[in-house]
Amino acid sequence: MRSSSVAAVQIVKVTSPGSDAGSFASNAAEDLLAVEQPLEIRIVYGDENNRQQKNISVTMCTPGHDAELATGFLFTEGIISGKQDILNCSTAGDNIVIAGLRPGISFDPKKIERHFYTSSSCGVCGKSSIDAVKNVFPANGTKDDIVVNAPVFTKLPDTLRKQQEVFEYTGGLHASALFDLNGNSLLTREDVGRHNALDKLIGAALMENKIPLSTHILLLSGRASFELIQKAAMAGIKIVCAVGAPSSLAVELAGECDMTLVGFLRDGRFNIYSGEQRIIK
């Protein structure tokens, strides 16, 4: 059984005396923190007569939705192409999840050119090259006529905050959320790692046969990094919004994928970095 996503710790709270002269005040208190634990992802692959097991990643993440995280990770890394490629996905011990691939699925370890350990803050750091990352997702030249009214975007951050159950207690988690084109909340996942939160979200959608997510809006609670755009592209998402800033490589990739990328979405304002044609101002 994986532990709770929230842990209580004893702290000493120090408060300033303010403008008046005097000593700082301190008192014992309890604080709630977001739990961070390692999760080892393993796969079982090969034909029916020669099944092999391989450890493919260890990621530091928040406990919960482990099967979704593993499923989303396998999909966004290009190891599987859909839900049908996984026979089963279950936990084995406190910090291990094992996904059994369908017999006949070809698994090339070189597809995961990633160090065995992945930090919670950066999922792409172990990649051996940027080209290896870019080559994961299939090109999609399909044109669309998706349009969204600008006021829809400005309401998304407040809606997301109301959905962030663990953040409400800890203030220490990232979130990824799916909305329809009218701004209605559909699905939210949280994690101490921004890439884990998105893998959980995409994994949940994949398990419900909702991929591709071409008629959805993805909202990221923090910045938009290259890897998050790559994962969104794998899921067929055409509109990505971030509360924080995008990186230069994220903007470049969004443009290559004909994706609408919005950044600094807060306080009723936002910047459009690519795909302006989908936003009615």
> Is 257 one of the annotated active-site residues of the chain?
no
Output the pLDDT for position 116: 44
Radius of gyration in angstroms for the set of CA atoms belonging to the chain, rounded to a whole number: 20
The bridge status of strand 52-61 relative to strand 269-274 is unpaired
Looking at the DSSP bridge assignments, the partners of residue 89 are 99
Report residue 199 CA to chain centroid gap: 4
Output the pLDDT for position 113: 55
The residue type found at 206 is L
Backbone angle region of 132, left / alpha / beta, with phi > 0 → left and psi within -120 to 50 → alpha? alpha
**83/61 Cα distance (integer angstroms):** 23
Output the pLDDT for position 128: 41
- CATH top-level class for 37-134? alpha beta
Same fold, 37-134 and 148-280: no
Q: What is the mean pLDDT of residues 149-162?
A: 93
Domain-by-domain residue ranges, the chain? 37-134, 148-280
What pTM was estimated for this model as a whole? 0.86
Q: What is the mean pLDDT of residues 156-178?
A: 78
Q: List Cβ neighbours of 119 (8 Å cut-off, separation of 6 or more).
A: 60, 125, 193
**For 195-236, what is each residue's pLDDT tens digit?**
999 999 999 999 999 999 999 999 999 999 999 999 999 999
Please check the confidence at residue 112 and state whether its pLDDT lies above 70. Answer: no
Q: In what order do the strands lie in the sheet with 37-45?
A: 86-91, 96-101, 37-45, 52-61, 117-118
Long-range contacts of 110-117 (CB under 8 A, 24+ apart): 111/77, 111/78, 111/79, 111/136, 112/56, 112/57, 112/77, 112/79, 114/57, 116/55, 116/57, 116/58, 117/58
**1/63 Cα distance (integer angstroms):** 10
Report residue 59 CA to chain centroid gap: 12
**Helix axis angle, 248-256 to 226-234, nearest 10°:** 20
CATH of domain 148-280: 3.40.140.10
Output the pLDDT for position 115: 42
Output the pLDDT for position 2: 58
Please check the confidence at residue 7 and state whether its pLDDT lies above 70. Answer: yes
61, 122, 241, 257: the catalytic one is 122
Average pLDDT score, the chain:
85
